[in-house]
């Protein structure tokens, strides 16, 4: 194939850099008391909405490769779509299909895992996020794996549950745990030794990402592998106890626990066991996978490392080949925007803080680690803080902008992309007031970017990968009114919304017009739009530009 792109037939490109600014988790809400984006003071975003080219884009469901339009978007699939210009079936869809047609269970990896535990008599261990959020995992996938173990005469199963409260309601863990226990009790009556073994909240145990805080993974390793955490007789007892101890705690922040019986912890991992990490999304699975697989591992002291057969639900990194064994092949994303740009000698910059650095690099580049061409790219990571996001809602937005503006002023980059994590990371806390501050902090940076791009005669695209801060209350599906707790207060929502996201194009001096009406475009249309602003025609199979020729 030829990587060479033709000049755009109708537009020679803007003279300066083309900057894509992703306001992570900032969707278009209902303009009500649940909408932290609307409640925030945002003079720069308001100006863009009224004066720049503007439309809305679909950022969830089938528009980003999810199974149905009832599925929220997320940062992984959103940045995949933004960076590759097409829609690929994503992890949730691929796993569901592989389970439905049996390919997962017929594969060599599954067969080896089950054969190992049938021979050794050790349990099959499942570790992952217990919810139906469908962002990192789905409880239905876990149930299918457990039932298959029963069908294949696997005598013992242990489940290590990571509690969500982030992609689902903030205190919903007991419902998922009860459903799991009901299934396990049914199988125990058939003579199986199937039990919940350990768990904890996802933001405290196991699910760190981008090496932001290895202590989270170390805590998970001690809990799941060694059975070393606060003991309880059941997961329900642990959750209820933690709720009583601190009613402000939500599921994502619950401490680690292990389930014990009279003999001690029921599920430490021993030689001869098999372990499946059933999360399909890679960013918060990579570090645990590395802890299981790497011989030369220095992130923390693993203690005695049991001889287990480990596999992930999917391959989490196609370049580093982590993990070595997996159950379902990931989407084969090729010919990304970044690849086309380096092959057409366009220098590009990607920048964010740690929490979203992999989104403008790894996910944007089609789940590819590292540089495509280091001579034509610069990736800048601004280290995130480790304090609670609601206590620092401004996060590192100003520092990101400082570096971004300085790099653009150097004149070496024709394309740049930046992610401001505030709307998503603070939105996930469920704290509406902090989320308002988060959006205001990002709006301030938008003003700085507008001034920089005006000086350089470039173009600024402002959009988002999905919604979050735009819907901070759980809403009743029939009335649309907030659900309320026993005290009459609105129930906080910590998951992504299904709302569309904004698209603003600020290109002073350029004669440009939008193509679609509101709602007709999606995130995949952005790549061709960037190419047009650079004066390049897009590949034939890319989703069309949002601009008229």
State the DSSP code for 124.
E
Last residue of a domain, one of 288, 311, 328: 328
Number of domains in the chain: 2
Mark out the alpha helices in 344-431 (DSSP H runs).
354-358, 397-409, 422-427
Looking at the domain assignment, is residue 499 inside a domain? yes
Residue 313 lies in a domain: yes
CATH number of the domain that residue 292 is part of: 3.40.1450.10
Q: What pLDDT, on a 0 to 100 scale, did the predictor assign at position 99?
A: 97
* Shared-domain flag, residues 58 and 163: no
Q: Are residues 66 and 100 in the same domain?
A: no
pLDDT at 319: 66
Task: Kindly state whether residues 118 and 230 are assigned to the same domain.
Answer: yes
Tell me: do 102 and 135 sit in the same domain.
Answer: yes
Q: How far apart are the first and last CA of the chain?
A: 25
Contact 419, 78 (CB under 8 A): no
Helix, strand, coil percent content, the chain, rounded in steps of 5? 35, 20, 45
Residues 422 and 320 in one domain: no
Domain identity same for 120 and 232: yes
Of the residues 305, 328, 351, which one is the last residue of a structural domain?
A: 328
The pLDDT value given to residue 486: 77
The answer on 61 and 182 residing in a single domain is no
Structural domain containing residue 182: 92-328
Q: Is residue 24 part of a domain?
A: yes
What pLDDT does 237 receive? 98
CA atoms within 13 A on the CB side of 469: 32
What is the total residue count of the chain? 549
Alpha-carbon Rg for the chain, nearest whole angstrom, is 24
DSSP 407-465: HHHTT--SEEEEEE-HHHHHHTTT-HHHHHHHHHHHHHHHHHHHHHHHHHT-EEEEE-S
What confidence score (pLDDT) does residue 485 get?
Answer: 81
Q: Do residues 369 and 518 both lie within one domain?
A: yes
Domain of 26: which CATH number?
3.40.720.10
Q: Put residue 67 in one of left, alpha, beta given phi > 0 → left and psi -120 to 50 → alpha.
A: alpha
Nearest C-alpha neighbor of 140 from the set 188, 95, 75, 74: 95
Task: Report whether the peptide linkage leading into residue 302 is cis, meaning its omega lies within 30 degrees of zero.
Answer: no
| Within a domain: 471 | yes
Task: Give the residue among 429, 528, 489, 412 at the shortest CA–CA distance from 20.
Answer: 528
Q: How far apart are CA 351 and CA 424, in angstroms?
A: 17
**Domain annotation covers residue 72:** yes
* pLDDT at 262 (0 to 100): 96
Q: Quick check: is 281 in a domain? A: yes
Kindly state whether residue 149 falls inside one of the protein's structural domains.
yes
Is the domain of 197 the same as that of 270?
Answer: yes
- Of the candidates 328, 361, 395, which is a domain's last residue? 328
Same domain, 380 and 498: yes
Let me know if residue 359 belongs to a domain.
yes
Q: Dihedral sign, CA of 263, 269, 271, 273?
A: positive
Q: What is the pLDDT of residue 66?
A: 81
Backbone angles phi, psi at 504, to 5 degrees: -120, 135
Tokens of 504: 């603003």
Tokens of 433: 């007031």
Residue-level pLDDT at 252: 96
What contacts 24+ positions apart, CB below 8 Å, involve 405-412? 405/448, 405/449, 405/452, 407/349, 407/351, 407/378, 407/380, 408/17, 408/19, 408/349, 408/452, 408/453, 408/456, 408/458, 409/452, 409/456, 411/456, 412/347
> Is 316 in the same domain as 370?
no
In the numeric block, the tokens 């294949």 are attached to 152
- CB 123, CB 156: distance < 8 Å: yes
Q: Provide the pLDDT for residue 474.
A: 86
Nearest Cα to Cα of residue 39 among 473, 505, 396: 473
Given a contact cutoff of 8 angstroms between Cβ atoms, the answer to whether 172 and 251 are in contact is yes
**Is there a contact between 55 and 516 (Cβ–Cβ < 8 Å)?**
yes
Active site residues: 75
Regarding whether 467 and 378 lie in a shared domain, the answer is: yes
Task: Split the chain (549 residues) into runs of 10 and give each run's mean pLDDT.
Answer: 93 97 97 97 98 96 85 89 93 93 97 98 98 95 98 98 94 98 98 98 94 95 98 98 96 98 97 98 93 96 97 86 92 93 97 96 92 97 94 97 97 96 95 97 98 97 97 83 84 90 96 76 97 97 93
The whole-angstrom separation of Cα 529 and Cα 410 is 24
């Amino acid at each position: 194939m030829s990587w060479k792109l033709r000049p755009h037939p109708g537009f020679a490109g803007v003279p300066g850099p083309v900057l894509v600014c992703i306001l992570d988790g900032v969707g278009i809400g209902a303009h009500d008391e649940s909408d932290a984006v609307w409640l925030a003071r945002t003079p720069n975003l308001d100006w863009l909405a009224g004066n720049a080219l503007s439309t809305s884009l679909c950022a969830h469901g089938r528009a980003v490769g999810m199974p149905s339009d009832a599925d929220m978007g997320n940062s992984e699939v959103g940045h995949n779509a933004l960076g590759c210009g097409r829609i690929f079936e994503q992890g949730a869809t691929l796993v569901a299909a592989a389970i439905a047609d049996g390919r997962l269970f017929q594969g060599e990896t599954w067969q080896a895992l089950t054969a190992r535990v049938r021979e050794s008599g050790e349990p099959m261990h499942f570790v992952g996020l217990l919810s139906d959020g469908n962002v990192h995992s789905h409880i239905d996938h876990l149930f299918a794996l457990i039932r298959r173990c029963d069908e294949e005469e696997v005598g013992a199963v242990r489940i290590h549950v990571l509690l969500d409260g982030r992609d689902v309601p903030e205190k919903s863990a007991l419902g998922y745990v009860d459903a799991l226990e009901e299934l396990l009790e049914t199988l125990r009556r058939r003579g199986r030794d199937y039990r919940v073994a350990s768990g904890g909240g996802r933001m405290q145990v196991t699910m760190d990402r981008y090496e932001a805080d290895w202590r989270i993974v170390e805590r998970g390793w001690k809990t799941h592998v060694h059975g070393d955490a606060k003991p309880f007789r059941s997961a329900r007892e642990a959750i209820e106890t933690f709720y009583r101890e601190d009613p402000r705690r939500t599921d994502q922040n619950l401490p680690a626990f292990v389930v014990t019986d009279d003999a001690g912890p029921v599920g430490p991992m021993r030689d001869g066991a098999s372990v499946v990490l059933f999360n399909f999304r890679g960013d918060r699975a990579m570090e645990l996978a590395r802890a299981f697989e790497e011989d030369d591992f220095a992130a923390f002291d693993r203690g005695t490392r049991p001889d287990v057969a480990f596999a992930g639900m999917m391959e989490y990194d196609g370049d580093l080949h982590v993990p070595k064994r997996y159950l379902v092949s990931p989407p084969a994303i090729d010919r990304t925007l970044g690849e086309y740009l380096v092959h057409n000698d366009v220098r590009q910059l990607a920048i964010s803080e740690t929490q979203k650095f992999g989104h403008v690099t790894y996910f944007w580049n089609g789940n590819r680690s590292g540089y495509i061409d280091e001579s034509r790219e610069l990736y800048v990571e601004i280290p995130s803080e480790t304090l609670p996001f609601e206590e620092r809602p401004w996060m590192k937005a100003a520092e990101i902008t400082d570096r971004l503006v300085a790099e653009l002023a150097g004149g070496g980059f024709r394309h740049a992309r930046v992610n401001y994590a505030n709307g998503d990371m603070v939105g996930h806390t469920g704290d509406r007031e902090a989320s308002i501050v988060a959006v205001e902090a990002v709006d301030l940076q938008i003003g700085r970017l507008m001034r920089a791009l005006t000086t350089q005669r470039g173009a600024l695209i402002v959009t988002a990968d999905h919604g979050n801060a735009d819907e901070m209350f759980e809403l009743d599906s029939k009335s649309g009114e907030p659900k309320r707790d026993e005290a009459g207060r609105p129930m906080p929502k910590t998951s992504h919304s299904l709302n569309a996201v904004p698209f603003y194009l600020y290109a002073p001096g350029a004669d440009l017009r939008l193509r679609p009406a509101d709602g007709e475009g999606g995130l995949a249309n952005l790549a061709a739009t960037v190419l047009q602003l650079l004066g390049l025609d897009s590949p034939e199979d890319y989703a069309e530009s949002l601009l008229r020729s």
